[in-house]
Structure 1
Amino acid sequence: MKTKFLLSMLPLSLASAMAFSQSIDVQVTNLTHGMNFTPVLVSAHDGNTHLFTAGQAATVALQAMAEGGNTAPLITASAGTVVNTNNIANGLLAPSASSPVTAIETGVNTHLSIVAMMLPTNDGFIGLDGWKIPTEVGTYTVYLNGYDAGTEVNDEIIDTVNGGADDGIPGAPGMDAGTGASGVTDMETNTTVHIHRGNTGDTSLTAGISDVDSRIHRWLNPVAKVVVTVK
């Protein structure tokens, strides 16, 4: 009763901050066989903020991340939230690897979002959109799907000239993709953010329809595991 009385005497904004402020640790694990993730963007925010929304067109900031791994525009767009980028030593999160633990003081932020580009893809990314952070101390596990930003045709052609800046895959970090592909498709019917259909790939390293190796770069959801520790 004494604690309740003291809180009632505080200004409402301060009492709210004391009630909701918490610290969390976040770690992401790559569950795929042969895909790499660009540095993972972790954002704690209010319930009205979204880094992406399935079923809606991607923002310019999301497009920059999904097509080239550039998280800077999303960080700018998330002004006012707590944002951290897991800068893995070589810039990529390899298959079966886990990111460094990201420690976040969430303050009054109640929701968590996570994104990172998947390589090699045209505009595929791992995504967690507005997950409500538990208030009870403990460890929580969330599995993430691979999303398609809907901003680029999934032709699965490695772009060695422009690094994927104007269509094409920026590269295959494992140096295990092919060249000379004719392209899986030259059009997309769904231009909103949606669940990625996965790489098609083929087994030719010098021709075929795809530069992606179907023996290495195909995947099924989920593609990532997130462990959140509420302290």
Structure 2
Amino acid sequence: MNYVLDFTPVLDGLPDLLAGCLGTLLLALGGMAIAIVIGISGVVLRDSRHKPIRWAVKGFVELIRNTPFLVQIYFIYFALPLAGLRLDPTPTAILALGINGGAYAIEIIRGGAQSISRGQVEAGLALGLHKGLVFRLIVLKPALRAVFPSLTSQFILLTLTTSVASAISAYELTSVAQRIESESFRSFEVFGVITLLYLGISWLMMSFFSTISTRYFSYPVK
């Protein structure tokens, strides 16, 4: 049986696919913003003097890192409404991506923070700097510089993970592709093209992170 390629449905649906790319970027950037907040907050709380807080952060990290993302997004979308919290697909996807990425960001940033010598922290305190300023300038910025490549890789992976959001009908590239494929039955053409589109999105995100690293950390991401 000879398969004849026909990209007509893909070309007809190209505006929708490009809009899906924007939806993917929206989910990714929203999730990353939440992940950074969770990551930095988790590093601070992980070193809390109070054991229950430290245990809560450790439990959160272990729970998220050892359960599938699909289960996490299903829980937020289908289970939380039973507790009175109901979100639309797009906010659900952003929240789930942020929580998932945040658990990994905690461990990545914490690894960088632990590389900062205690002497540097004590020197900052000896100069009369506030603890918050010491953390931001002496601990956090050098830590982010040290782990930025690892954090970038994790966020690129988070960007690709947005495709799972199609399971709850969030508007992103994979959900658009599935609709076009179900209407045209041109699986090879549709998913071949979105593979290239995901490569383009990954390259765009890498360029974005490279710009950030060059501007704020003085070295490019490769």
Larger strand proportion of the pair: 1
Report the TM-score, using the length of structure 2 for normalisation.
Answer: 0.30
Greater relative contact order (CA < 8 Å, ≥ 6 in sequence): 2
The structure that has the greater radius of gyration is: 2
